[in-house]
Amino acid sequence: MSFNINSFKLEGRRALITGSGQGIGLELARGLGAAGATVVINTRNIDKSRAVAAQLRDEGLKAESVAFDVTDREQLLAAINTFESDVGAIDILVNNAGIQRRAPLEDFSASDWHDVMRTNLDGVFHVSQAVARHMIARGRGKIINICSVQSQLARPTIAPYAASKGAVKMLTKGMCAEWARHGIQANGLAPGYFATEMNRALVDNQEFSEWLCKRTPAGRWGRVDELCGAAVFLASPASDFINGQTLFVDGGLTSVV
């Protein structure tokens, strides 16, 4: 069989992106939608989820919505099972929802630690398990876990975030180990530094910004649309023999010291 450029297309596929009301998740929804997928917007609020999906339909994309909190196992199981039976199959899952908390490690509160772990790590487990059970029954599926340069590199004040994202990178390999035989490919997509709400404090910090631009071989912050090519690739049949990997989209940051 020879290579077909159409293997990058996502027509006829449905992609659920968690935490896609704003930021990277919303831009990934636009990217997957532009490649032909029907995208499913998820936020914790039903009205917001519907409004964002309506906005994407106004932009000419195919968009649906489902509301759940990635930390609420019972709620998300019910929402995903109902969506699968009433609306249709989720072919692609992007685990994007995530939070950041900053404090020196010796002062980091136990409740912030649990919030970071529950959202960034437990959430990936709960949502992936709920969706993968349906994918396993169908014998195919794509899972993209949003990791981070902090899956590999630590920084002061965000040790719990780095621990959570490092764990997501390993959970991705675990998904590969157990679900590859069911036709599922699970890969990580690790963004470098992108100017979103999560990074507002860093964007506003001129000293940090100057350091980052010197530290990054590309010499600049990333633009969220620059994550879409990698997401489309990992969601498409073009990557069917790639599994358990984490692709860094970071302007070269993790390749140099």
Shortest distance, position 121 Cβ to ligand NDP, whole Å: 11
Q: What single DSSP character describes residue 236?
A: S
Shortest distance, position 194 Cβ to ligand NDP, whole Å: 4
Shortest distance, position 2 Cβ to ligand NDP, whole Å: 36
> Can you read off the two tokens belonging to residue 231?
């997401």
Q: Which helix (H) or strand (E) holds 15?
A: strand 14-17
> Can you read off the two tokens belonging to residue 135?
């994918």
From CA 164, how far away is CA 205, in angstroms rounded? Answer: 24
Q: Give SS3 for 92.
A: strand
Which is nearer to ligand NDP, 9 or 44 (by Cβ)? Answer: 44
Is position 161 annotated as part of the catalytic site?
Answer: yes
Q: Which helix (H) or strand (E) holds 64?
A: strand 62-67
Catalytic residue among 68, 161, 179, 194: 161
Which is nearer to ligand NDP, 179 or 193 (by Cβ)? Answer: 193
What is the distance between the terminal CA atoms of the chain, rounded to a whole angstrom? 42
Which is nearer to ligand NDP, 2 or 206 (by Cβ)? Answer: 206
Which is nearer to ligand NDP, 113 or 182 (by Cβ)? Answer: 113
Shortest distance, position 180 Cβ to ligand NDP, whole Å: 24
- How many Cα neighbours within 13 Å face the side chain of 8? 11
Shortest distance, position 202 Cβ to ligand NDP, whole Å: 8
- How many Cα neighbours within 13 Å face the side chain of 113? 9
State how far the alpha carbon of 190 is from the alpha carbons of 99, 132, 139, 150, in Å: 15, 21, 26, 8
- Cβ 103 vs Cβ 79: under 8 Å: no
Q: Judging by beta carbons within 10 Å of its beta carbon (0-12, 13-18, 19+), is residue 9 exposed, middle or buried?
A: middle
Which is nearer to ligand NDP, 98 or 244 (by Cβ)? Answer: 98
Footprint of ligand NDP on this chain (CB under 6 A)? 18-19, 21-25, 43-44, 69-71, 96-99, 119, 146, 148, 191, 193-194, 196-199
Q: Which residues are part of the catalytic machinery? A: 161
